[in-house]
Structure 1
């Protein structure tokens, strides 16, 4: 089974029409039909159903599609690295990270990789912890930067540091006027929090039950800018990491108190996909990410 046949399979799965594939490959539809028939014969299984609008994947083909995409991506990367020669990294590196970790990280990463590895293309995905875990497991991203709660870190994950958690309000707010605040002071305070499932939300709910306090959630918002906007307006308080609010606090837009008496610190980890080995470019980008985050923690940008 050659790579061209597998590329045809993926292209047809994405376009859903032999006519469209034939047009894209500048050939007649009967040629595509014969190639698909030959591929199905070689696989020993039916891959496509013919429909009134084109073709659709069979259940078997649906299960094989992610693996074939990963195989083709790896083959393309190997080809690029062989052509590059002299061990120079080249190709696409896909990174998934939380929005709160993106701003202080990605611009520096781009500058460094652009200067050192001009043949590397960064593809950035922002998402929640759960989404990033899913992307890593499916191979959609090569590297993930995300939070772990309660000190639970997998063996293959690299710990980069721990960020503290703050109660965030508007500038001049009385409740957040001191550097620290006890966790039980959050009882009945109007809060804007991410919707479940969310690691921080789950941790807050667990600690509130243990402390016998009521978490008064007045709004759910998965958007970090929206959480900060509501906190700045005085409508509700947000619960965020110090790194996510440092600019607004320094500018006098937000005010924050570090929450104590509860283990709400979040461990920042670097994880890699288990679907395939990291390419040379992926390994180099991973090294740069670790150095950047080490500097941010050392300079207390992340706290």
Structure 2
């Protein structure tokens, strides 16, 4: 078995799209298609069925994917064991993160790995919570940082931080001058909301419903960057965002925020581990480093966020 070919096959199987994988790898679709065709020829049968929306696994592809996932994990663990015995720690760690964790947590993690374990390479996928759950369950990522509405109770999730929710506006807005704001004050406001389907959108809608009103969506956007830019440039436009996503803008004076209460919409940032299968040594090192970094920052995703949150009334 050619290790890169197996990894590519499993990546396409999880993505359900050759074009998506080509985009991730910064190459052309024909290059990925050619490699998949060669892998199919080596295995003696079609692994994918081409559809109008992408690709799906054939019965042979399903059997191959199920067996090759285990083979790949065992092979990578063996490689790491042999390298560790030689005094080196090597390996790729596929880490899925929500956009809020992209910076500065990832930059600090990368710097630490470069100093302490330069043989470990990060492969970072940024996605929303629902997609990250699917990637983790399917084996496309090894570990993931995501939001939960309930505190983790099982051994497969570790609590990193707890995040309150804030009504965000451009600077000078009267409504967000106070440290806290009743959720009921959102009635009638022009909001930039996440697109459905979204667990966060559902939670916001449910909170509004409990107060007897519906949220007014002036615009919908998945991207937190788009949400923040729209709010920063439009008077009277608001969004509901967690503290990790607005820390830099608050420091720069580009945004203003007030913590929402009654209800206090709290989300827990967790480090999710695979429910099945063992972590490689490289994955254990990365997961331990993530926990250590957040603990050293007062259980936050940013080293300076604690003081900012205190100023906002958290």
Give the TM-score category using the shorter length.
Answer: 0.7 to 0.9
Count, aligned residues: 277
Structure 2 unaligned regions, length at least 5: 13-31, 50-54, 310-314
Does the aligned pair in 2 maintain the 1:48–1:57 contact within 8 Å? Answer: no
Q: What residue is the counterpart of 1:267 in the other structure?
A: 268
The whole-number CA distance in structure 1 between the counterparts of 2:156 and 2:82 is 30
- Structure 1 residue 275 displacement after superposition: 4.3
Cα distance between partner residues in 2 of 1:12 and 1:231: 42
Q: What's the CA shift for 1:92?
A: 0.2
Q: Alignment partner of 1:297: what SS?
A: coil
Distance of 1:178 and 1:109 partners within structure 2: 35
Q: State how 1:1-303 maps to structure 2 within 5 Å.
A: 3=1, 21=38, 36=43, 47-48=45-46, 59-86=58-85, 88-151=88-151, 154-235=154-235, 236-298=237-299, 301=305, 303=309
Report the alpha carbon displacement of residue 253 of structure 1 after superposing the two structures with TM. Answer: 0.6
Cα offset, 1:75, TM superposition: 3.4
* Shift of residue 136, structure 1, vs aligned partner: 0.4
User: 1:73: Cα distance to partner?
Assistant: 2.6
Distance 1:81 1:287 in 2: 17
Structure 1: which 5+ residue stretches go unaligned?
Answer: 23-31, 38-46
1:10–1:85 distance in 2 versus 1, CA, 3 Å: closer
With the length of structure 2 as denominator, give the TM-score of the two structures.
Answer: 0.78
- Further displaced range: 147-156 or 161-170: 147-156
Quote the Cα distance in structure 1 between the aligned partners of 2:275 and 2:164: 29
Q: Secondary structure at the match of 1:191?
A: strand
Deviation at 1:68, TM superposition (A): 3.7
Quote the Cα distance in structure 2 between the aligned partners of 1:18 and 1:223: 32
Q: Check 1:60–1:168 CA distance in 2 against 1; reply closer, same or farther (3 A cut).
A: same
CA distance in 1, matches of 2:297, 2:9: 45
How large is the RMSD of aligned CA atoms in angstroms?
Answer: 3.0
Please say if residues 139 and 275 of structure 1, whose CA atoms lie closer than 8 Å, have aligned partners that are also in contact.
no
Match of 2:105, SS state, is helix
